[in-house]
Structure 1
Amino acid sequence: MLQILYFAQDLADPAVRRRVLMLLAGGAKVTLAGFRRDANPLAAIDGIVPVELGNTHDGRFVQRVGAIAKSCLSLKQALRRVERPDLIIARNLDMLAIARKAVSLFGGDVPIVYECLDIHRLLLSPGIAGKALRTSERLLGRDARLLITSSPAFVENYFRPLSGISAPTMMLENKVLELDETDARPSVTAAAAPTHGPWRIGWFGALRCRKSLALLATFSRRMEGRFEIVLRGRPAYREFDDFDGFIRNEPFMTFHGPYRSPEELGAIYSDVHFTWAIDFFEEGQNSKWLLPNRLYEGCRFGRVPIALRGTETARFLAIRGLGVLLEEADADALAALMGSMTSEIYDATSRRIAACAPETWIFNRSDCEGLVRRLSAVTSAAPPRIALDFPQAHQNTSTPQNEGGLS
């Protein structure tokens, strides 16, 4: 059984929970360690008691650097009961520093996998801070055996031209985790247009985009109740002046709190017709390149995604002839796009989503086993010393399964 030590930047992040569940379902034994940013009981994993390295705060970069330095000094004590792993996975740059320290404690030859699913704006800065961070990433990741990321645009726009990471790359999209016992891939069912009442747009997950909140509020008021906005997930309160107060004052917008993923996805998406798959957070950079969880989640349940032209999400949908694409990032353009929506148009759009192969949206138990096999291969492979052949950003990301069963 593959023994994995997984370092996470936020133990309360539902995406961390999903990744650990994937590794467990694939047959690995996982020790989870990392920092905590807030309390989130919905991110707990049965049978997993994480090794807590301290507390960090979202958006407070200097505080996080201090917490990492402090943790490195006390890491031997924190990991005293952790058996030597076969592999260490470091989620994000913060954890890459911790992973390097852990390798030295375990004897210096435990392979590291670098998992990076967001590109922080400081990493893209042309100034001294950006150069220093990229240098740190290159040095800390110089012996990484594998790079895991979730969008080809991250590779095309950052990892290939800027990062200096020389590890082979694996694309691991943010698909919906479904661990049914039969290991089947259930078909996607088309959603139905409302027979009465308003259309509903769901914005679910990490709620951190002030521009999206304002745009959707203005749009829903302009449509005078024909469209309602439903929010669920974890708001990044520091990004908003008064998130809760804003929602209370909006007549066509509601917030229903966090949810458990993947267990509650079917219920929450059945409550809406469209998925808001747009993010202006770090606009023009990370938000333009990512393929968000909500894209796969909404389509898994036949809900129609709304994306912004010029983004990787829009490119992904356009290749497949799916979704509705917003031309401009403002309420007028959204009203023009959605104002002519009819049951006939919606039904046809949702049916196109349902016609896609389920594996476009779903990651099942056999995929988890393939992931663990791929990671097992890393433990026996020599450190890479050759140039990468990265996938091009214009290629279709829904590729045939490779030896590890991953797309």
Structure 2
Amino acid sequence: MLQILYLAQDLADPAVRRRILTLVAGGAKVTLAGFRRDVNSLAATHGIEPIELGVTADGRFAQRIGAIASACLSLKSKLANVGKPDLIIARNLEMLAVAKRAVALFGGGVPIVYECLDIHRLLLRKDVVGRALRATEAHLGRDARWLITSSPAFIEHYFRPLSGLDAPALLLENKVLEIDGPADRIADSAQCPVPGPPWKIGWFGALRCSKSLALLADFSRKMEGRFEIVLRGRPAYSEFEDFDAFVRNEPFMSFEGAYRNPEDLADIYGGVHFTWAIDFFEEGQNSAWLLPNRLYEGCRYGRVPIAMKGTETARFLSVRGIGLVLEEANAESLAALLGPMTPDRYIEATEGVAQCNPGTWVFDRTDCEALVRRLTALAAETPETMPTPAVPKPRHNEGGLL
């Protein structure tokens, strides 16, 4: 059985829980260690007690550097009861530093996989700060055997031209984890509201984009209740002046709290018509390149995605001939896109989503096992016997792996 030490930047991140479930379903034994940012009981994984390396704060980069340094100093005692793993997966840049320290403590010979699913804006700066961070990433990642990332645009726009990393890339899209296998029909387990007003737009997951919040609020007021906005997930409170008060004062917007992923997805998507698959958090950079979780989740349950023109998400939808694309980031443009919506037009749009292969949206037990087999083969290789990696494809691959 493959023994994996998984190092997470945020133990409260539901995406970390989903990755652990993926690896366990694939047949691996996983030890989870990482930093705690806040309390989120919904991110707990049954049977796995994480090793806490310290506490970090969202948006406080300097504090996180100090926490990493402290964790590296105390890592020997933290991992005292952990046997030497076959493989270490380091999620995000700061965990690469911890991974390097862990390899040294285990006596060397443990391959590292670097998992990077977002490109932080600091890494893209053209000044000395950006250059220093990219140099740090290249240094820490020089021995990484693989790079796991979730969008081909990350490879195209950052990892190839800027990062300095030589590790072969594995594309692992943010698909919905369904360990018991994909459904035969896309929308089989989610009941859709009756097509018609009030139309409901769901914005679920990591809520960190103040521009999206303001745009959706303006739009819903402009449409005078014909469209309602439903928010679910984890708000990044550091990115909003007062998220709770803002939502409370919006007549056509509601926040309905956190949820378990993937267990609650059918219920929450069953209450909306559209998925907000737009993010302006790092506009023109990470936000333009990512393929968000909510894209796959919404389409898995037959909901119509809304993407922003010029983004990787819009290109993804265009290839498949589905979804709606917003031309300009304002309430007027969104009203022009959605205002003429009719039940017939909506049903036609959902049928387009339903015609896609379920494997486009779902990562099942077979996929989990295939991933763990690849990781097992990687752990068995030595640098001298590793084959020359295939060049990653620049665009989409239905199987999710490159």
Bin of the TM-score, shorter chain as denominator length: over 0.9
Structure 2 distance, partners of 1:399, 1:189, is: 19
- Equivalence map 1:4-15=2 (5 Å): 4-15=4-15
Matched letter for residue 65 of structure 1: I
**Deviation of residue 140 (structure 1)?**
0.5
Q: Is the 8 A contact 1:212 1:279 kept in 2?
A: yes
**Deviation of residue 380 (structure 1)?**
1.9
**Deviation of residue 212 (structure 1)?**
0.2
1:271 aligns with 2:271: yes
1:390 aligns with 2:392: yes
**Deviation of residue 399 (structure 1)?**
3.5
Structure 2 distance, partners of 1:196, 1:294, is: 22
Q: Is the 8 A contact 1:192 1:347 kept in 2?
A: no
Q: Is the 8 A contact 2:195 2:346 kept in 1?
A: no
The residue that corresponds to 2:68 in the other structure is 68
Structure 2 distance, partners of 1:292, 1:172, is: 12
The residue that corresponds to 1:188 in the other structure is 186
Unpaired runs of 5+ residues, structure 1, are none
Tell me which moved more, 291-300 or 185-194: 185-194
| CA-atom RMSD in angstroms | 1.4
Q: Is the 8 A contact 1:53 1:78 kept in 2?
A: yes
**Deviation of residue 235 (structure 1)?**
0.2
Unpaired runs of 5+ residues, structure 2, are none
Write the deviation string for residues 32-68 of structure 1: whole angstroms up to 9, x where unpaired: 0000000000000000000000000011000000000
Provide the TM-score with structure 2 as the length reference.
Answer: 0.97
**Deviation of residue 369 (structure 1)?**
0.3
Q: Is the 8 A contact 1:86 1:110 kept in 2?
A: yes
Q: Is the 8 A contact 2:298 2:304 kept in 1?
A: yes
DSSP-derived class of the 2:231 partner: strand
Q: Is the 8 A contact 1:4 1:86 kept in 2?
A: yes
**Deviation of residue 389 (structure 1)?**
1.6
Structure 1 distance, partners of 2:182, 2:161, is: 39
Structure 2 distance, partners of 1:400, 1:95, is: 27
Structure 1 residues 330 and 184, CA, compared in 2 at 3 Å: closer, same or farther? closer
Write the deviation string for residues 180-209 of structure 1: whole angstroms up to 9, x where unpaired: 2xx454320387563564000000000000
Q: Is the 8 A contact 1:166 1:388 kept in 2?
A: no
Structure 1 distance, partners of 2:142, 2:127, is: 22
Provide the TM-score with structure 1 as the length reference.
Answer: 0.95
Identity of aligned residues (%): 67
Q: Is the 8 A contact 2:4 2:86 kept in 1?
A: yes
Structure 2 distance, partners of 1:74, 1:113, is: 22
Q: Is the 8 A contact 1:201 1:230 kept in 2?
A: yes
**Deviation of residue 386 (structure 1)?**
5.6
- Equivalence map 1:3-152=2 (5 Å): 3-152=3-152
The residue that corresponds to 1:372 in the other structure is 372
Structure 2 distance, partners of 1:251, 1:141, is: 48
**Deviation of residue 8 (structure 1)?**
0.1
Structure 2 distance, partners of 1:379, 1:45, is: 25
**Deviation of residue 298 (structure 1)?**
0.1
Matched letter for residue 208 of structure 2: R
Matched letter for residue 184 of structure 2: P
The residue that corresponds to 2:178 in the other structure is 178
Q: Is the 8 A contact 1:185 1:364 kept in 2?
A: no
Matched letter for residue 218 of structure 1: D
DSSP-derived class of the 1:90 partner: strand
Q: Is the 8 A contact 2:182 2:359 kept in 1?
A: no
Q: Is the 8 A contact 1:13 1:43 kept in 2?
A: yes
Structure 1 distance, partners of 2:345, 2:84, is: 57
Write the deviation string for residues 317-356 of structure 1: whole angstroms up to 9, x where unpaired: 0010010000001110000100000011100000010010
Structure 2 distance, partners of 1:328, 1:184, is: 35
DSSP-derived class of the 2:366 partner: helix
Structure 1 distance, partners of 2:201, 2:34, is: 34
Structure 2 distance, partners of 1:16, 1:256, is: 22
Structure 1 distance, partners of 2:50, 2:243, is: 31
DSSP-derived class of the 1:216 partner: helix
Structure 1 distance, partners of 2:380, 2:52, is: 29
Q: Is the 8 A contact 1:160 1:390 kept in 2?
A: no
Q: Is the 8 A contact 1:198 1:227 kept in 2?
A: yes
Q: Is the 8 A contact 1:189 1:302 kept in 2?
A: yes
